[in-house]
Amino acid sequence: MASGPFAGLLARRFGDVPFADRVRDHGHAPSVELLLARRATGASPALAPSAKAPVEPLTAREHEILTLLATGLSNGEIAQRLIISPRTVETHVARVTGKLGVNSRARAVARAIALGIIAVQ
């Protein structure tokens, strides 16, 4: 069981998910987005794999941004990795969330996993 200031929150949020499943191969805790996506895809009928695909397909860059969002990187970290400005990343994130019909980064990742656009790591 996790300990620390957020142990109670984690227990309430992910009580049925063993702590070992919340840790990646290299020992770091996965992103909140990825944890929420895993939980949402298993529990939410609105995000079931049969959910409607986005009307407009994602561009290669939007797919790349979405994949990096799933790893828990911030806009600044994504910008550094792709050698683009943080504002450009914000624009791509806004387009991704719009195309997927969601209003947050976490929901975009969850929906993308549910649609099979990106794979759960």
Q: What is the pLDDT of residues 37-71, one digit of tens each?
A: 666 555 443 444 445 555 689 999 999 999 999 99
HSE, CB side, 13 Å, CA atoms: give it for residue 23.
9
Query: What pLDDT is recorded for position 68?
Result: 95
Query: Cβ contacts of residue 54 below 8 Å, gap of 6+?
Result: 99, 100, 101, 115
Confidence class for position 109, pLDDT limits 50, 70, 90: very high
- Report the predicted TM-score, pTM, of the whole model to 2 decimal places: 0.58
The separation between CA 18 and the C-alpha centre of its own chain, rounded to angstroms, equals 19
Q: What is the pLDDT of residues 69-97, one digit of tens each?
A: 999 999 999 999 999 999 999 999 999 99
* 1: pLDDT strictly greater than 80: no
Helix (H, G, I), strand (E, B) or coil at 47: helix
Query: What pLDDT is recorded for position 41?
Result: 56
Of the candidate CATH numbers 1.10.10.10, 1.10.3720.10, 3.40.50.2300, 3.40.50.720, the domain formed by 7-121 belongs to 1.10.10.10
